[in-house]
């Protein structure tokens, strides 16, 4: 009696799970990996921010270079002055003459031209620093691009994996459901017990739970890809590409060659090298404080009154001047020495960062080399295991139908087949992702 009640309760649970797994099909849009990469490079805010940083660096370099050229400025001035006593002089036979009248309204216009003649090499070193900074940002832009492409590749194949796992579990649900129907028929004929049917239904419920989880994972993987590509979040997409036997550097190149290539081609190395050059140029900028600065200056004035005209007249007058301005900071309480020391410390830090990035890149390349080789070996083993599980399930299923295999044997074969299918899917996708990771760690463009 207890067994009968347990059977009825379990049957009700299976029916509820079956109702939950009946999810309305969504109309999915097939997308290729190349299309996703193009969309991400165009729409993703990471690339937009990276491009903005590059534009800023380019304009900064142009701004610094503009200091080499003459600077032309215009200044205008209008002022109302208070009354002051006039200065008059009385001379024999000439009477009283006003030399400095009180002019209360002043107007002035000046055009100034300045050209740096010598700046203690500061301008040259500043221009070099700005150019190296631009180079560093360009390489960082390339790094951001490759990082985004790898993220898209990973998200794309993760979605493929989630869809494949969902399909494998759906297929397993059908197989175990058919098995449950067979056991039900055997039970009606007295060839199987309620316990045999409960065992099958227990396994079926477990697979259905996994199927529900797989459907949820597929939705989340779709959203992750949509975020990267700038697609509306809930747009249903499905990978149209299949993992192919892509060129595997781990199989054709040795570890030493891969590490050497990574150290030569990675954008991170080029970026840190450029920043080291920036720090070196900044040492020259700081040392420029030891030298004098010479500026050529020319001015053209048109004023009413013009201060250079004596006696002043309430009239528009022209004047001009050309000269050299020399400025030399003779004593600044060692400020220049301290600035130079700071710049040299920054250079030492940049050189240490370059050494650190070499070590990090070498380790990353080595890790991806071994993981790619491992993933390639797993594909062969998983493929063989899948074939063996398929054959084992086929033989056990036929024997079960003829009464030559037990219900437990068939359950074990079904579970082994499910695990083999999942393992093969995991190994194929992991190899596809790992090949791209290895290529990126070597500095090989992913697109």
- Over the stretch 131-162, which tens digit does the pLDDT of each residue have? 999 999 999 999 999 999 999 999 999 999 99
Confidence bin at 194 (pLDDT 50/70/90): confident
Residue 95 has pLDDT above 60, yes or no: yes
Note whether 239 and 356 are same-domain residues. yes
Q: Is residue 107 part of a domain?
A: yes
Distance CA 437, CA 265 (A): 15
Confidence bin at 250 (pLDDT 50/70/90): low
Note whether 90 and 208 are same-domain residues. no
Which of 275, 301, 327 is where one domain is finished? Answer: 327
Residue 317 has pLDDT above 50, yes or no: yes
Note whether 42 and 97 are same-domain residues. no
Query: What's residue 202's pLDDT?
Result: 92
Note whether 78 and 202 are same-domain residues. no
Confidence bin at 309 (pLDDT 50/70/90): confident
Query: What's residue 332's pLDDT?
Result: 85
Average predicted confidence (pLDDT) for the chain: 88
Confidence bin at 15 (pLDDT 50/70/90): very low
Note whether 259 and 366 are same-domain residues. yes
Report the share of the chain in percent with pLDDT over 90: 68
pTM of the prediction? 0.83
Which of 253, 260, 324, 329 is closest to 294 using CA atoms?
324
* Higher pLDDT pick, 338 / 193: 338
Q: Is residue 6 part of a domain?
A: no
84 C-beta neighbours (distance < 10 Å), count: 11
Tell me phi and psi for residue 35, to 5 degrees: -65, -40
Q: Is residue 18 part of a domain?
A: no
CATH number at residue 339: 1.20.1600.10
Query: What's residue 24's pLDDT?
Result: 42
Residue 287 has pLDDT above 80, yes or no: yes
Average pLDDT over residues 214-220: 96
Note whether 168 and 264 are same-domain residues. yes
Encode burial over 50-70: b for 16+ CB neighbours within 10 A, e otherwise.
beeebeebeebbeebeeeeee
pLDDT tens for each residue of 65-92: 999 999 999 999 999 888 888 777 776 7
Average pLDDT over residues 239-263: 82
How many degrees, rounded to 5, is the angle at CA 366 between CA 150 and CA 143? 35
Note whether 106 and 253 are same-domain residues. no
Query: What's residue 1's pLDDT?
Result: 40
Contact between 386 and 424 under an 8 Å Cβ cutoff? The reply is yes
Distance CA 225, CA 161 (A): 13
pLDDT tens for each residue of 391-429: 999 999 899 888 888 888 888 998 999 999 999 999 999
Note whether 402 and 321 are same-domain residues. no
Note whether 221 and 309 are same-domain residues. no
Query: What's residue 439's pLDDT?
Result: 92
Note whether 235 and 149 are same-domain residues. yes
Q: Is residue 9 part of a domain?
A: no
pLDDT tens for each residue of 161-173: 999 999 999 999 9
Task: Give a three-class secondary structure readout of the chain.
Answer: CHHHHHHHHHHHHHHHHHHHHCCCCCCCEEECHHHHHHHHHHHCHHHHHHHHHHHHHHHHHHHHHHHHCCEEEEEEEEEECCCCCCEEEEECCCEEEEEECCCCEEEEEEEEEEEEEECCCHHHHHHHHHHHHHHHHHHHHHHHHHHHHHHHHHHHHHHHHHHHHHHHHHHHHHHHHHHHHHHHHHHHCCCCCHHHHHHHHHHHHHHHHHHHHHHHHHHHHHHHHHHHHCCCCCCCEEECCCCCCCCCHHHHCCHHHHHHHHHHHCHHHHHHHHHHHHHHHHHHHHHHHHCCEEEEEEEEEEEECCCCCCCCCCCCEEEEEEEEEEECCCCCCCHHHHHHHHHHHHHHHHHHHHHHHHHHHHHHHHHHHHHHHHHHHHHHHHHHHHHHHHHHHHHHHHHHHCCCCCHHHHHHHHHHHHHHHHHHHHHHHHHHHHHHHHHHHCCCCCC
Which of 327, 345, 379 is where one domain is finished? Answer: 327
Query: What's residue 17's pLDDT?
Result: 41
Q: Is residue 5 part of a domain?
A: no
Note whether 427 and 286 are same-domain residues. yes
Tell me phi and psi for residue 186, to 5 degrees: -65, -35
pLDDT tens for each residue of 362-381: 999 999 999 999 999 999 99
Q: Give the total number of structural domains in the chain.
A: 2
Contact between 116 and 295 under an 8 Å Cβ cutoff? The reply is yes
Which of 274, 254, 234 is closest to 61 using CA atoms?
274
Query: What's residue 187's pLDDT?
Result: 85
Q: Which of 187-191, 295-299, 394-398 has the lowest mean pLDDT?
A: 187-191
User: Which residues form the domain of 354?
Assistant: 25-69+119-291+331-441
Query: What's residue 94's pLDDT?
Result: 66
Note whether 167 and 298 are same-domain residues. no
Q: Is residue 1 part of a domain?
A: no
Query: What's residue 25's pLDDT?
Result: 42
Q: Is residue 13 part of a domain?
A: no
Report the share of the chain in percent with pLDDT over 70: 91
Q: Is residue 180 part of a domain?
A: yes
């Amino acid at each position: 009696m207890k067994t009968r009640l347990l059977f009825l309760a379990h049957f009700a649970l299976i029916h509820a799970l079956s109702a939950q797994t009946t999810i309305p099909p969504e109309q999915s849009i097939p997308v290729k990996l190349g299309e996703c990469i193009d969309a991400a490079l165009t729409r993703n805010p990471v690339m937009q921010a990276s491009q903005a940083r590059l534009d800023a660096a380019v304009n900064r370099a142009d701004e610094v270079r503009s200091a080499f050229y003459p600077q032309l400025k215009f200044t205008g001035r209008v002022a109302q002055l208070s009354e002051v006593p006039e200065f008059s002089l009385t001379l024999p036979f000439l009477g009283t003459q006003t030399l400095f009248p009180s002019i209360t309204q002043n107007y002035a216009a000046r055009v100034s031209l300045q050209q740096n003649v010598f700046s203690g090499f500061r301008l040259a070193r500043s221009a070099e620093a700005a150019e190296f900074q631009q180079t560093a940002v360009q390489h960082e832009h390339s790094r951001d691009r490759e990082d985004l492409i790898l993220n898209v590749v990973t998200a794309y194949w993760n979605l493929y994996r989630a869809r494949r796992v969902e399909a494998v579990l759906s297929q397993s649900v059908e197989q175990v459901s058919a098995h449950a129907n067979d056991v039900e028929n055997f039970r009606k004929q007295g060839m199987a017990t309620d316990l045999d049917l409960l065992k099958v239904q227990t396994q079926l419920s477990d697979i259905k739970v996994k199927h529900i989880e797989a459907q949820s994972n597929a939705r989340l993987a779709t959203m992750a890809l949509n975020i990267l590509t700038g697609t509306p979040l809930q747009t249903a997409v499905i990978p149209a590409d299949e993992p192919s036997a892509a060129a595997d550097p781990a199989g054709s190149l040795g570890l030493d060659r891969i590490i050497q290539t990574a150290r030569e081609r990675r954008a991170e190395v080029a970026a840190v090298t450029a920043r080291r050059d920036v720090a070196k140029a900044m040492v020259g900028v700081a040392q420029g404080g030891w030298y004098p600065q010479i500026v050529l200056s020319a001015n053209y004035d048109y004023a009413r009154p013009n201060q250079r005209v004596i006696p002043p007249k309430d009239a528009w007058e022209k004047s001009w001047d050309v000269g050299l301005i020399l400025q030399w900071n003779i004593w600044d309480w060692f400020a220049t020495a301290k600035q130079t020391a700071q710049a040299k410390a920054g250079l030492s830090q940049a050189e240490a960062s370059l050494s650190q990035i070499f070590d990090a890149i070498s380790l990353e390349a080595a890790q991806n080399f071994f993981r790619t080789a491992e993933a390639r070996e797993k594909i062969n083993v998983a493929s063989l295991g899948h074939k063996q599980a398929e054959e084992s399930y086929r033989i056990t299923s036929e024997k079960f139908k003829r009464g030559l295999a037990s219900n437990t044997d068939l359950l074990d074969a079904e579970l082994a087949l499910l695990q083999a299918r999942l393992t093969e899917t995991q190994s194929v996708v992991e190899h596809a992702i790992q090949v791209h990771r290895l290529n990126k760690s070597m500095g090989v463009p992913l697109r």
